[in-house]
Structure 1
């Protein structure tokens, strides 16, 4: 058994076909098949069930794939230590939606960078929760920052509950908190259709049988905020980002009943690189602070 065979096993499990796995590894498909058959003979077990449409991982194979991933991650960490005498110029990839990226950059990243100045953090920008999950599953990101729920194959570390609030011109006479039913017929500036926040808001409107008067549809937050400054509409926003509205002289009110979502750091169910483990620990310390 060698590291190359372990890489072949993991790639085959991820791609589900020998052809796609070989392409990702830049080797010929017969060479990949031969290496895996040799490993199966050496171990005395069948790792993959073959069919005309591809391969499926056997129960024994799932255990081997899990351990192979852990072994390869450990090798990567050893290589990083050998090359840089520590974390050095290692890169941590975090998938996040645009609405959460600002909070990530403003609070978590400075706290993490203070302890790990040699680690470069790359933000993988994703359009919604599903895209964050896909980035982690495709190994384009080590961690994700998104709202819950996520599929059960991911591990979650809840950080905070974000509240959706109503931001209005100061002249608008409304109670505080604002009953959700008062949104019926209210002039609102909303995100563009199809965006994650818009889908959440549409679900809220459906749940409470309200139909706001849509004045503006835009994914540009500054554009929606500008409509409120001009007295043309109100908007629904996350409280963590509403300080900008307060500084602009606008009024921020909670909804009744309160509308909240849980934000969490998420990752695959496998051993994380040390730099990712440290980021999770930093996020949990910030939550407790």
Structure 2
């Protein structure tokens, strides 16, 4: 038994359906169901009775849920002590996705460092939103910089809406502003099937009634621009990486209608060190604009 399993139990009890609980935890529903079954088998008791499309907490389950909440509260208190210790050392650790680090993160950190020169700032580059969420949850980072949505056990502070652009190899016969309808049948480099990011892309395509061709499916973001440069396909990514793409000899085009995502600072539900609070206050005053 581990803390992650306790979080799963509490979320399932609070949401009363595996689907809603999995969504709040930002994991796949089958993975949550499997984790709950494994825990029930390990404990030798039934925590949830399946009822139609939802679940009902059993008598034993109610006791376990109560203890799980107490255990998670105790962990948060211990984390607060650690945060207080780090605060005394004037340290700030921020996890960021690769696409946001050079732009938005850079602007925020420059403004923060000017006002707080005594604070040591460490930026951790994570592999996408899931990596940022994991770093914040595991206490490897005080704050995370990523796009939304994030699991409901984290608190988010929206900063700005960032535009999604089309990054293509040179020579493609496309207008300067690409109608979203032109994505239909276009060869695109996409996240791997089954990943949270891929599900978001697929939902976006359904919303706009387009069906691109998956020229490459990978979560290795470090290879995406190289794949475009090799002519494998085009890429949908944030304008924040446009400068990097142009330097690589690629063509960046906006979409019509524009597609934008909300970028936010996220953190766990706990008391934050002073250095972290100062960073949040600075960001919320609009210095990132």
TM-score by length of 2: 0.63
Change (3 A) 1:140 1:53: farther
Over aligned residues, Cα RMSD in angstroms?
Answer: 4.0
Partner of 1:277: 277
Per the TM alignment, residue 268 of structure 1 is displaced from its structure 2 partner at its CA by 3.2
Q: Which residue of the partner structure matches residue 56 of structure 1?
A: 66
Q: Is the 8 A contact 2:189 2:224 kept in 1?
A: yes
Gaps of 5+ in 1: 1-12, 17-49, 81-86
Looking at structure 2, the residues matched to 221 and 267 of structure 1 have their Cα atoms a distance apart, in angstroms, of: 24
CA drift at 1:260: 1.0
Further displaced range: 178-187 or 208-217: 208-217
* Corresponding position of 1:163: 163
Deviation at 1:160, TM superposition (A): 1.3
Q: Could you tell me how far apart the structure 2 residues matched to 1:158 and 1:245 are?
A: 26
Q: Distance in 1 between matches of 2:199 and 2:231?
A: 25
Query: Counterparts of 2:171 and 2:188 in 1: how far apart (Å)?
Result: 15
Equivalent residue, structure 1, for 2:106: 106
* Match status 1:145 vs 2:155: no
C-alpha distance after superposition, 1:54-82 (max 9, x if no partner): 462799x89xx69x94x9958964x67xx
Corresponding residue for residue 266 of structure 1 = 266
* 8 Å CA contact 1:170, 1:251 repeated in 2: yes
Q: How far off is 1:251 after superposition?
A: 2.3
Q: Give the structure with higher Rg (CA).
A: 1
* Farther off after superposition, 90-99 or 164-173: 90-99
Partner residue of 2:33?
A: none
Q: Structure 1 pair 54/125, CA: closer, same or farther in 2 (3 Å)?
A: farther
SS at match of 1:242: helix
Q: TM-score, normalised by structure 1?
A: 0.63
Question: How far apart are residue 276 of structure 1 and its match?
Answer: 0.3
Structure 1 position 115, deviation (Å):
2.9
Q: CA deviation at 1:153?
A: 4.7
Q: What is the DSSP-based 3-state SS (H/G/I as helix, E as strand, rest coil) of the residue aligned with 1:110?
A: helix
Q: How far does residue 51 in structure 1 lie from its aligned partner after superposition?
A: 8.0
Gapped regions of structure 2 (runs ≥ 5): 1-5, 10-59
**1:137–1:222: structure 2 CA closer, same or farther, 3 Å change rule?**
closer
Shift of 1:246: 2.4
Match of 2:250 in 1: 250
